[in-house]
Amino acid sequence: MHVIAHDPYASADRARAIGVELVNFEEAISTADFISLHMPLTAATNKMLNDETFAKMKKGVRIVNVARGGVIDEEALVRALDAGIVAQAALDVFTEEPPKQDSKLVQHERVTVTPHLGASTIEAQEGVAIEIAEAVVGALKGELAATAVNAPMVPAEVLTELKPYVELAEKLGRLAVQLVAGVSGVKNVKVSYASSRAPDDLDTRLLRAMITKGLIEPISSVYVNLVNADYTAKQRGLRITEERIVIDGSSECPLESIQVQIANVESKFASAISESGEIKVEGQVKDGIPHLTKVGSFEVDVSLEGSIILCRQVDQPGLIGKVGSILGQENVNVSFMSVGRIAPRKQAVMAIGVDDQPSKGSLQRIGEVPAIEEFVFLKL
């Protein structure tokens, strides 16, 4: 089947992630061969299916309602069944429960009914129990919870799509705050999302929460999550603004890059200061792995795994070998190394990914290499 859906609250990216085409209500009821209802009973949904809407449906449509009985005008449904507009109806819910034994709807030969038992089957109860257990285990492991009742709703399929970008967002926040000299002064942060999707087709609440987590946790004892991120930022006077940059490209990929800027602060690594005066770090997801791609005005490419050493140096032969030898002598494994430079033999920034934390002595020896002008060790 080709699945279409009308949902005034679902985002286009959520629908796309599960292979569903979003349409308006009129199109949904007029083109569907099967209509399945999934909604609460509210003033807006009360008798949503009535004589007027049945008249717009295809002749021979089949209707399934396992939501709430009141969303269908039951007398109108009987008329639609008798007129042949509705070929069959399957109902688990009714306006009055239990329905009267002489109900025309229940007794109708083209209606299949069950006594509101969708959640009472062995399979449903087992499924709920497993889902709760998995959610609790995941939360205890620090994973994102799609079912937290006191957090913004982020559908599971959106969580899956954004997972590598969530990791990237948190690590960029951690990197940025560690570059600040005097972390108490972090007040203004700007986050830029580059994406080929329309601004209203990308839910960034989760990403903003993880950037907040990355900015705050390294300098405090507070544990930040999706529930308390905005509140924690507000309590600390941290103002995070977001910018969405629409670029050309495929909308299959939710994001091209994330950039984090911290304004009005000094940096312990001067090369992280952009031309406009802010600490700036930028990253991308490559093959499912978060990468640091820009520090200040210097382009690099290093996997955000383990920890990172950033060095500003005069670009010259043999420097990578010297730093690598210092780390190797202490059995510190180098996972990635990338150099971004202005021009050959000019200033450059070297980003080194390491699996282990070097000793203070090793870091001091790196800083004493004549061509290295400054360096910083950043723990992820």
Structure tokens at 320: 């990578």
2, 97, 123, 275: the catalytic one is 97
Answer yes or no: 68 catalytic: yes
State how far the Cα of 324 lies from the Cα of 46, in Å rounded to an integer.
70
Catalytic residue, from 68, 174, 208, 291: name it: 68
How large is the C-alpha radius of gyration of the chain?
28
Active site residue 205: no
The rounded Cα 22 to chain-centroid distance in angstroms is 20
Q: Tell me the sheet residues that pair with 243.
A: 192
Q: Residue 186, Cβ neighbours under 10 Å: how many?
A: 22
Spot the catalytic one: 116, 205, 244, 341.
116
Token pair listed for 199: 């601004």
Q: What angle do CA 99, 101, 106 make, to 5 degrees?
A: 65
CA distance 40 to 32: 21
Angle at 153 between CA 151 and CA 159, to 5 degrees: 105
Do you find a cis peptide bond into 115, omega within 30 degrees of 0?
A: no
For residues 152 and 204, is the Cβ–Cβ distance under 8 A?
A: no
> With the C-alpha atoms ordered 297, 337, 351, 367, is the resulting torsion angle positive or negative?
negative
DSSP H or E stretch at residue 34: strand 34-37
Q: Is 289 helix (H, G, I), strand (E, B) or coil?
A: strand
What element of type H or E holds 284? strand 279-286
Task: Determine phi and psi for 47, rounding to 5 degrees.
Answer: 50, 45
Distance from first CA to last CA of the chain, Å, rounded? 46
Burial of 123 (0-12, 13-18, 19+ CB in 10 A): exposed
Q: Is 291 marked active-site?
A: no
Residues labelled as active-site residues: 68, 97, 116
